Amino acid sequence: MRLSRSLIPTLKENPADAQIVSHRLMLRAGLVRQTSAGIYAWLPAGFRVLQKIAQIVREEQDAVGAQELLMPTIQPAELWRESGRYDSYGKEMLRIRDRHDRELLYGPTNEEMITDLFRQSVRSYRELPQIVYHIQWKFRDEVRPRFGVMRGREFLMKDAYSFDLDYAGALRSYRQMMLAYMRTFQRMGLKAIPMQAETGPIGGDLSHEFIILAPTGESQVFYDAAFEDIDYSASNFDHTQDADLARFAALMTTHYAATDEKHDPDVFASVPRERRREGRGIEVGHIFYFGTKYSKPMNFTIAMPDGKLIHPEMGSYGIGVSRLVGAIIEASHDDHGIIWPDVVAPFKAAILNLKPEDAACTELCEKCYAALGNEALYDDRLERPGVKFADADLMGHPWQIIVGPRAAAQGMVELKRRAGGERHELSLQSALEKLAAHA
């Protein structure tokens, strides 16, 4: 993308209404703009990040055998009356009437709808287990939308639903999802810690929240740093092997981790001092097992080999895809701006043309831009170098290719790594090779 012709409206000053660093940086880097309280438009650079995060989430869901589908945002009230949640859900649910006076709602979650879709066509034990998921916008009329996309009213969630014949199956699905979650966060460079959670309005008795440390988090958390050293990749845990899943689950429950509601100072004190971590945490995911909470009232039955009918055991599994954009920034920034992990950066590199009116400079930049294509943001604006340096640091591209007139005459550029700040002068060719090798 050419910055001169992009809708990436960076801001020099901190917006007065943004209280936390990720919110400030998302506005300043031109990633999002608020359109109503707690509702945001994702501008081109922000949307690229959102899509990259969604893609990692998708790949890790697919890797454990979950199937992607897409359910609508608008749901009929009748389904929620069947489960009893239409009245119990409260004011967070946006209730709507259409022109025929039919009651609808903008989905805050999809347990009822997925249970309905399954009961329409899945009848036999031979068709289970299954896990399905979608990545879809949700609406919750939060009392206090705040912190930008962290607690919005409209937000993007990945929600998955598992259907099993018995508790043993449901437990396996739960563990597979939990493993997929740890891999998802690991790939994004986040140290997310699974914590035993209250099951809340969705119900059930097995539940974990996935929390990352950040000073602006909404809950106080305590955990053993041993979690940070575990490698969750497929070579370590095979999701198809029950023994691996059991070993994984044991590991997830032996090390200490708790939010303030469940914190036990005496047990925490037995964690070696140098491994004790305490701070504020952001919830980036939440998983539940809830048995037949929906299949029973909604009368979803499955015929077993002996002809007996049972209600399938279910679980649901959420990741805050749009919240993750803010959470990653909370975890990775400095005084100058965002420091994107390579895998979610909107652009791999920025090309900074320090003197657009210089022929050699512009020629080299164009060559570089042609080579990198869509993965580069080309700062071709007629601005002072200082403005370009500041904006590139603010936007947080993993690499900057800085092209000034003196070096350009020799075919040389400067390559800067945003994370460590190291700068090296080298030929354009070597710079491009270095970037390619890093991928």
Binding site for Mg ion (CB under 5 A): 286
- Indicate which of Mg ion, ligand ATP, none lies near residue 155 (CB less than 5 to 8 Å, by partner kind): ligand ATP
CA–CA gap between residue 259 and residue 155 (Å, rounded): 24
Options 65-73, 112-120, 235-243, 279-287: segment touching ligand ATP (CB under 6 A): 279-287
- Verify binding: residue 194, ligand ATP, rule CB under 6 A: no
Within 144-163, which residues bind ligand ATP (CB under 6 A)? Answer: 151-152, 155, 157
286 lies in the binding site for ligand ATP (CB under 6 A): yes
323 binds ligand ATP (CB under 6 A): yes
From 283, 313, 358, 379, residue interacting with ligand ATP (rule: CB under 6 A): 283
Site string for ligand ATP, 291-320 (x = CB under 6 A): ---------------------------x-x
DSSP bridge pairs for 168: none
Cβ atoms of 347 and 377 within 8 Å: the answer is: yes
Q: What share of the chain is helix, strand, coil (3-state, %, to 5)?
A: 40, 30, 35
Cβ proximity of 286 and 208 under 8 Å: yes
Rounded-to-integer distance, Cα 171 and Cα 5, Å: 51
Find the binder of ligand ATP among 148, 285, 337, 398 (CB under 6 A): 285
Long-range contacts formed by 59-63: CB under 8 A, 24+ apart: 60/180, 60/181, 60/183, 60/184, 60/187, 61/133, 61/158, 61/160, 61/180, 63/180, 63/183, 63/234, 63/239
Q: Measured between alpha carbons, how far is 392 from 410 in angstroms, rounded to an integer? A: 24
The rounded distance, in Å, linking the Cα atoms of 21 and 44 is: 21
**Is residue 140 within the footprint of ligand ATP (CB under 6 A)?**
yes
Q: Please, which residue, 290 or 399, has the CB nearer to Mg ion?
A: 290
Closer residue to Mg ion (CB): 286 or 418: 286
CA distance 290 to 163: 11
- Choose between 289 and 399: whose C-beta lies nearer to ligand ATP: 289
Residue 281 binds ligand ATP, judged by CB under 6 A: no
Asked whether position 337 contacts ligand ATP by CB under 6 A, the answer is no
Please report the sign of the dihedral spanned by the C-alpha atoms of residue 384, residue 390, residue 394, residue 397. positive
First to last CA, the chain: 20
Does 187 engage in binding with ligand ATP (CB under 6 A)?
Answer: no
- Pick 10 or 115: Cβ nearer ligand ATP: 115
Q: Which residues make up the interface to ligand ATP (CB under 6 A)?
A: 109, 140, 142, 151-152, 155, 157, 283-286, 318, 320, 322-323
